[in-house]
Amino acid sequence: DIQMTQSPSTLSAFVGDRVTITCRASQAISTWVAWYQQKPGKAPKLLIHKAVNLESGVPSRFNGSGSGTEFTLTISRLLPDDSASYYCQHYSNYAWTFGPGTKVEIK
Amino acid sequence: QVQLVQSGAEVKKPGASVKVSCKTSGYSFKTFGISWVRQAPGQGLEWMGWINTYNGRPNYAHKFRDRVTLTTDTSTFTAYVEIRSLKFDDTATYFCARESPRSSYGMDVWGQGTTVFVSS
């Protein structure tokens, strides 16, 4: 089975900062990665699909990149509303695997 | 609008079973598969399984293959997850989510979550 890891597990940044979260797969997975945002007590929200595609309605300050085994989610200018946990997810043949998550805090 | 509305919180004893429902509306039920994802308190997201709403065929994560059953009722546009032989560490919030080919099989719409608490 393919394993997904994320780094860092927690990050703290100032409003306006550029923030990058990295997700790595245990083997090459092309671009079959999605990114989700989850706020406490809420369901996750799809941000990015197929590594680079912004889901409809998601602000353009969110950007996804990568292929193969390394993927990144970048928030270009951090806003207070971006305080949340972020998860990468791999899809293959109607099976999905989540990364362990990254908690983003505002300083 | 597209909605997935889940059944209410449950409290169960170890060894019991629980069945959580996910009622969909606002789209063609058979066009999008449904996944179930759970989240233990303070932990990350864990994919449990997916069901093809067109033909009712499920695909389970290895970990859940023996104790979980996914079903659908196409007459009410509802998906279900049943978990048998509940253990204390099944205490979690269970989410249903629609899988969308238009979003590269990302989960684009989610239910609000159902908390299942396993306690003696």
Report pLDDT digits (tens) over A76-95: 999 999 999 999 999 999 99
Smallest CA–CA distance from B58 into chain A, residue: A94
Half-sphere exposure of B92 (CA within 13 A, CB side): 22
Q: Which of A46, A95, A97 sits opposite B106 (nearest CB)?
A: A46
Chain A residue whose CA is closest to B57: A94
A8 pLDDT band (50/70/90 cuts)? very high
Which of A26, A34, A44 minimizes the C-alpha distance to A89?
A: A34
Nearest to B46 among A53, A94, A98 (CB): A98
SS3 B118: strand
Which chain A residues are closer than 8 Å to B107 by Cβ? 34, 36, 44, 46, 89, 96
**Chain segment B51-109, per-residue pLDDT in tens:** 999 999 999 999 999 999 999 999 999 999 999 999 999 999 999 999 998 888 999 99
